[in-house]
Structure 1
């Protein structure tokens, strides 16, 4: 079997011919001769058989070949660039096995980063990057969050429909391994809908709610209620369930579950995990109203066994949603601060009061410092001449 050529100081046409010879040696249906129609046709033929290189047993050779194709693609102006790049990307996403998949992903990522920042093709390549990265379990190496994603397409923003398609893909590949990031992606997706088309986002809205409820690290769910597609679900069971997690107690969830067991399980939600989360949320609500909570109140309100109270409090403190100290001897929990489950008018008023007090304290300190400075200047001033 002929090894891959090393392309140094040769023309694009000669590089293409060497690639033709290499693929021919692997049994691809391609001529070794240059195309009389020029480099674009050469590249079209090469892309059509490029996945044959996965039969080569040498991973270093495969990587060199794929990178050579990328170098030609980004070195010439392509009138038919979209079709070629899409065909190349689609073939790479089918690379067999994890090792070859990673090699293909590296080449596809190199292609993406070498396209002009304002090229609309970057979106299409990025979409295939995510598809391939998902197959080889490397999604978080190319996608770190929605803020980073926005920056990727600053120069050439995709259409709203394209971004919705990408967000759905990201959610589907993240939901099983990174539920927190998947939830953020889904919230971003729902934010792309307007009043005019929010009613068409029903499936996305349900997925968003379910992902957030199932995520063991997501407790503050109030922002979901303001999303337009979620508001269109009012009156449905999924919206009722979300409302319970936003503002109600454990007993409300248990009553809902008793009446709608099949519905909860049909959404892929785990009842035991739901109870665990509702206990923590209910404790937060107790902490908002009372800075000192007895073990007996926790046992009664949260339906926890006496022996499990201390372990439960430790779990709550791990979330960092509540700051508190546990007094085992007195069987009490002394709360110093807690996150609010909902942020409504009362919380805004409380925040305003705190900020006004802070501003008054700053002004008082400023005036005190001015007095100290004036006194110090007067003390250091030379004595007046007689």
Structure 2
């Protein structure tokens, strides 16, 4: 099998045209193949002379696509590297984008044929582009290819650079939505990425803030999904969801109002409220894949945090038992579970049958929490100011004392 090796005797693009043409016409016999190869090489040369780079890319892609299932991956990667480098030729950004669009579209047409290689080609193309709009287009094509070709493991690492991508791309709201939802869907299928999937889904829902009702409606299914994922996650206890327009629209929705009510229970109420909800909505919970026993366990931890934040530093065992609806011998184990989950910092006083709490997490961080934080910061600033003033006064007193002592010595 021939490997493309660019030399000084022939332009790399012509070498690729010749290689792909010879391979694609190899079964037609020498007489036919020779004529077709010559024709394609002449056509390619004309494109290069006339600076018709888009036409050249189209010609090369057509031949390369024909041999994709025949040629070794090393040869294909080399050929497509040359093709992708054609985007450096045009001076117009519009022409560059048109060429990038052509290449990306052609590469993703058969996602099940060497999908990992196709993905590698797309990322090579991405790295050659300088226009943020074109980069974003190719990246989204890569995500779609990864999903359709079932090779999403190759794009997971790129999600860690999403903040940098967003700064570079400067996307509009619509493109942000498409990106966040695509990433959330990919992570959802990846084992161990439930929390990351939820975070990108929340980013998606956040883009609907300030939108009119008709636009927000399109996020209804994803809003329900976010609630279900939050409730289902055993290690997520905080979420700023209730005030989001995309979530809030469910409160008065004929179909999804109970789902909103469930979220409200998990963010603002205690176990007794959940048990009452379950008594009339057991079928609804099952339809969303929610397990009652898991929900009860999560609500017990949440309820413990709730009473910890409301009591004046001490929680009697009796109150924990009553609120969590557990036996006496289970109280300490549930407190330990809350500590392990980093929901509270506390000390268990077995002698006095109380739990002494020093810190509790906030279940939601809304207006009330911001006001409390503002008050704490103001107090902290006042305390620091008092300390500084005290230090300055003491320094002045010390300087005066030392000066007086000096005069006495003299």
Question: TM-score band (shorter)?
Answer: 0.7 to 0.9
CA distance in 2, matches of 1:331, 1:126: 58
Decide which of 364, 368, 375 is 2:390's aligned counterpart: 368
- Is the CA contact 2:24–2:63 (under 8 Å) kept in the aligned structure 1? no
Residue 23 (structure 1) shift:
2.1
RMSD: 3.1
Secondary structure at the aligned position of 1:218 is classed as coil
The 1:353/1:57 distance shift into structure 2, 3 A limit, reads same
CA distance in 1, matches of 2:368, 2:207: 30
- Is the CA contact 2:88–2:96 (under 8 Å) kept in the aligned structure 1? no
CA distance in 1, matches of 2:118, 2:350: 58
1:42-57 counterparts in 2 under 5 A?
A: 42-52=56-66, 54-55=68-69
Q: Say whether 1:181 aligns with 2:196.
A: yes
CA distance in 2, matches of 1:269, 1:310: 27
CA distance in 1, matches of 2:22, 2:329: 72
- Is the CA contact 2:87–2:128 (under 8 Å) kept in the aligned structure 1? no
Partner of 1:324: 346
Residue 286 (structure 1) shift:
1.4
Decide which of 178, 185, 193 is 1:165's aligned counterpart: 178
Residue 53 (structure 1) shift:
5.4
Greater helix percent: which structure?
Answer: 2
Residue 332 (structure 1) shift:
4.1
The 1:252/1:133 distance shift into structure 2, 3 A limit, reads same
Q: Say whether 1:115 aligns with 2:122.
A: no
1:289-308 counterparts in 2 under 5 A?
A: 289-290=310-311, 291-304=313-326, 308=330
Unpaired runs of 5+ residues, structure 1, are none
Partner of 2:246: 229
CA distance in 2, matches of 1:70, 1:282: 58
Partner of 1:7: 6
Partner of 1:125: 138
CA distance in 2, matches of 1:101, 1:307: 56
Secondary structure at the aligned position of 1:224 is classed as coil
- Is the CA contact 1:20–1:46 (under 8 Å) kept in the aligned structure 2? yes
Q: Say whether 1:218 aligns with 2:236.
A: yes
The 1:333/1:384 distance shift into structure 2, 3 A limit, reads closer
Decide which of 203, 211, 224 is 1:195's aligned counterpart: 211
Q: Which is higher, the Rg of structure 1 or of structure 2?
A: 2
Decide which of 33, 36, 39 is 2:41's aligned counterpart: 33
Q: Say whether 1:143 aligns with 2:143.
A: no
The 1:353/1:17 distance shift into structure 2, 3 A limit, reads closer
- Is the CA contact 1:47–1:84 (under 8 Å) kept in the aligned structure 2? no
Residue 240 (structure 1) shift:
0.9
Secondary structure at the aligned position of 1:6 is classed as coil
The 1:342/1:23 distance shift into structure 2, 3 A limit, reads same
CA distance in 1, matches of 2:91, 2:371: 60
Q: TM-score, normalised by structure 2?
A: 0.80
Partner of 1:152: 168
Decide which of 87, 100, 111 is 1:85's aligned counterpart: 100
Partner of 1:207: 225
